[in-house]
Amino acid sequence: MSDDRSKSDGLFGGLRQTVEGLAAVKAAIPGVLSAIAGVVNHLVDPETVGRVVSAGVGSGVQRLVDEARAAAARPPPAPAAPPNHIVCSRHGIHPYESTLVCTVERCGRVWQVRDVSLPHFAPNVCLCGAQLLPFGSQPHTGKPICSVCAVRIWARNGRAVPRTAP
């Protein structure tokens, strides 16, 4: 029987502790609500709202000024070339006259694909051994080049390779 009594004391003891804990929470609620109300009242105060809005607008205006300065510092975009034209950094926009360059490092040979009877007609495979012209799904090295540049390169040595230091 003492076993039953210890079980009931344990049950009632736990229930009593729970009730006491709930009473402590109930007693603390007004203080917590008071603190929360103070924060909420401060946030909705017209002066606080005014300061927050002013700071946000000021930050936004500063960001707009920074973006405008950055845009002014950037160079203007390159003009778009009309269809069948090429943009050259030296000679501007020119009609594309079927000239191309091998982009393999240290090759740079310049070719034309307009007419097989003209000099410098492009073979399928460049003299450096790279696939110059597109063939199926194979990667190719031939890229369009300005025809004015091509004529000047052919007059020199036929290769558009940048000079390297000895």
> With contact defined as beta carbons under 8 Å apart, do 121 and 130 qualify?
no
Place of tokens 């609620």: 29
- Domains of the chain, residue spans: 2-73, 85-156
Residue-level pLDDT at 101: 93
Please give the chain's pLDDT, 166 residues, in tens: 555 555 556 667 777 887 787 777 778 778 777 777 777 787 778 888 788 888 888 888 888 888 888 888 888 776 677 888 888 888 888 888 999 999 998 899 999 999 999 889 999 999 999 999 888 888 899 999 998 999 988 888 878 775 544 4
Q: Which residues pair with 125 in a beta bridge?
A: 131
